[in-house]
With several copies, the nearest count.
Chain A
Amino acid sequence: MVFGFGAPGPSSAQKIAAAEAELELVSDTFSRLSSSCAKKCIPKDYREADLNKGESVCLDRCVNKFFETTMKVSEIMQNKANGQQQSGGGFGGFSM
């Protein structure tokens, strides 16, 4: 699974909760991605109803880069969690 959820959970309720959390993350990611990429690629004056060539290409690349960013960030946090044995605090890592 893309985002690292879905760890071995015994009960049905836990498995469904994990699947739901994965889903939540995917949908949250998409909604943040759309908002960021619309801001970066689509001018706010809306002079035409169609996406022009430049806007379309920008959106494609932006989605790709956002996706790469999620992977990159996940990797950085994984390294952190493994490498330096978190000093605790609850906001310093993403291990679950």
Chain B
Amino acid sequence: MEALNAQEQKEFQQVLERRQMNEYVKMYSNLVQRCFDHCVNDFTSKSLIQKEEACLNRCVDKFLKGAERMGQRFQELNAQQQ
């Protein structure tokens, strides 16, 4: 990365922003699928039942906390490596 000049840094910044949007999309839809797979298993009803909604709440919460924690550890390790 250090090898990029100012102009290249700028271009790369744009690439970065586009990627970041994609990362969010991927993270979000991954979260949806994972919590759906674990929490929703009753197909005798058409709409989410209370038990499923409560599970989704806990699942999203836990997933985000876990992702945040792992993200911090990962960044620390990457920083040590530089």
Contacts and interface: CB of A to CB of B under 8 A. Distances in A.
Interface of A: 1-2, 6, 8, 12, 15-17, 19-42, 44-51, 55-70, 72-74, 76-77, 80, 89-94, 96
A16 B26 contact: no
B63 A63 contact: no
B57 A76 contact: yes
Given A24-B25, A51-B65, A73-B35, A58 B60 contact: no
B43 A92 contact: no
Of all A-B residue pairs in the complex, the 8 with the closest CB atoms, nearest first, are: A49-B61, A91-B71, A63-B73, A49-B58, A32-B33, A46-B58, A91-B67, A92-B68
B58 A62 contact: no
A16 B32 contact: no
A87 to B, nearest CB: 8
Contacts of B19: 23, 27
Given A29-B32, A32-B33, A46-B62, A59 B25 contact: no
Contact of A6 (B1, B12, B39, B71): B1
Interface string B9-52: 00110011011011111111111111111111101011110001
Given A16-B8, A59-B73, 14 more contacts: A20-B12, A21-B22, A32-B29, A32-B30, A33-B74, A34-B67, A37-B70, A46-B55, A46-B62, A57-B43, A64-B73, A67-B74, A69-B36, A69-B40
B48 A89 contact: no
